[in-house]
Structure 1
């Protein structure tokens, strides 16, 4: 089944429609409708969204169903939404009701595991079926974790990168530990000169006081959170903030009149 087609998401849309039907909305208070809206988001689509990438039209349709149910709008009737839906979905601390966006970023969990479990059986199967990148694309960047700036060496020092004979070398190949002393082991096609010397000076100022653990394996880090660890919750918050943007509560704004 090709789930890039909207028609193949009918089961999910139908489940939403049945659970968030207009007759139920008439029997519930706004608090009850809010609770049911959150519950449906937290249960029905999780299996599908954690495995498949849904088309944008499917997201829009599901959001429309949730919005109409929350505001108590009957099927086939053009009702009134008193507040923009992105404001309703926004976090409570910025004036929303914390419903959250359907785009919860569940596929990110699998991409993170794909990067950190390269020898797992499921990961090897995915590589056979979809190639070395697993079909996730190449949007992620592997950064050098030895410095708090998380800089990418070839981008920060392009002139030195151009001189390097082995462009796929690791940092540990150039910053080596011998007889208790850390030293450089450059492999340049020619000696740096001119403005390239400035890059050498900057690089040395970064690594002069650094020491690498030769027994520590390279690992991926999540650069969008202080803990450097990936979580679906943190990614969902980033997605919601990106979609909804900063909101203003306004003057004397109340959800329950």
Structure 2
């Protein structure tokens, strides 16, 4: 019997290997595909079940596992797959971005729809002041003519750093044009 290193077997034919793909990488890719399915198949029964057990984000935000015993659940392995890929230097869990159509299915503060960070994290002071934490993009941007979000109401008037954040937020929202006939997507 001849012994060969596994790393050599994984190499392409041109480099002396057998061109066998890494099972670990294939498994991670298949587990991470569930993240995409969870985001895009919102009206399916299995997504409703996951949301009823683990919350509206299914435990997928930032690759965190579910609140229950994480070692006892297959879904926790799916949640951890995103964290593992993030650990490899690939920004997987933050790579999901909403494509805005009419803005009705995209959460203004919670979903990533401009840039690569959600507004809740990027403008955390404004988020804490906002009384509309569960508002959609449509509710906040509709008829705003690119200015201050119309539906936005504050616990107190933004001043200081929060006023600076508000100016930056206005600059990001200004070019947004909602298309009433088009649904939001990922």
Question: TM-score, normalization: structure 2?
Answer: 0.56
Out of 11, 14, 22, the position equivalent to 1:101 is: 22
Structure 1 residues without counterparts, runs of 5 or longer: 1-71, 74-78, 221-257
Which residue does 1:170 correspond to in 2? 136
Query: What's the counterpart of residue 113 of structure 1?
Result: 37
Quick check: 1:205 aligned with 2:171?
yes
Residue 6 of structure 2 aligns with which residue?
85
Q: Is the 8 A contact 1:87 1:95 kept in 2?
A: yes
Report the RMSD for the aligned CA atoms in angstroms. Answer: 3.5
Higher relative contact order (CA 8 A, sep 6+): 1
Aligned length: 138
**Aligned counterpart for 1:196 among listed residues 157, 162, 184:** 162
Match runs of 1:10-89 below 5 Å: 72-73=1-2, 79=3, 81=4, 84-89=5-10
Deviation string 1:138-180 (CA, Å, 9 cap, x unpaired) is 85566444566233111111111111112222222211127xx
Query: Normalised by the size of structure 1, how large is the TM-score?
Result: 0.43
CA contact (8 A) 1:116 1:219 kept: yes
CA pair 143-109 structure 1, distance change in 2 beyond 3 A: closer
